Amino acid sequence: MSSCTTSGKCGYWNCRRSIRGSHFLCIDHFNDWNDYLIDECPSCGQFKDSGYKLCPTCYYRPATSPPRKPPSYPMPARPKVEHSEAWLKADKGIDQFFVYILKLDGGRFYVGHTRDLRERLWEHKDKKELPDPKLQYFEVLPTRESATQREAELKLLAAANQRAIRKMILRLKDWTSELEYD
103 and 172 co-located in one domain = yes
- Of the residues 44, 75, 106, which one is the last residue of a structural domain? 75
66 and 120 co-located in one domain = no
Instruction: Output the 3-class SS for the chain.
Output: CCCCCCCCECCECCCCCECCCCCCCCHHHHHHHHCCCEEECCCCCCEEECCCCCCHHHHCCCCCCCCCCCCCCCCCCCCCCCCCHHHHHHCCCCCCEEEEEEECCCCCEEEEEECCHHHHHHHHHHHCCCCCCEEEEEEEECCHHHHHHHHHHHHHHHHHCHHHHHHHHHHHHHHHHCCCCC
pTM of the model: 0.58
Residues 100/117, Cβ–Cβ less than 8 Å: yes
Does 10 map to a domain?
yes
Is pLDDT of 146 > 80?
Answer: yes
Does 118 map to a domain?
yes
CATH code of residue 172: 3.40.1440
Residues 97/147, Cβ–Cβ less than 8 Å: yes
153 and 97 co-located in one domain = yes
Q: Which domain holds residue 40?
A: 1-75
Q: Per-residue pLDDT tens for 79-116?
A: 667 777 777 788 888 899 999 999 988 888 999 999 99
Nearest Cα to Cα of residue 115 among 137, 81, 134, 141? 141
Q: Per-residue pLDDT tens for 20-47?
A: 777 788 888 888 887 778 888 888 888 9
Number of structural domains in the chain: 2
Does 33 map to a domain?
yes
Average pLDDT of the residues in 110-139? 89
Residue 131: CB partners within 8 Å, gap ≥ 6? 104, 105, 106
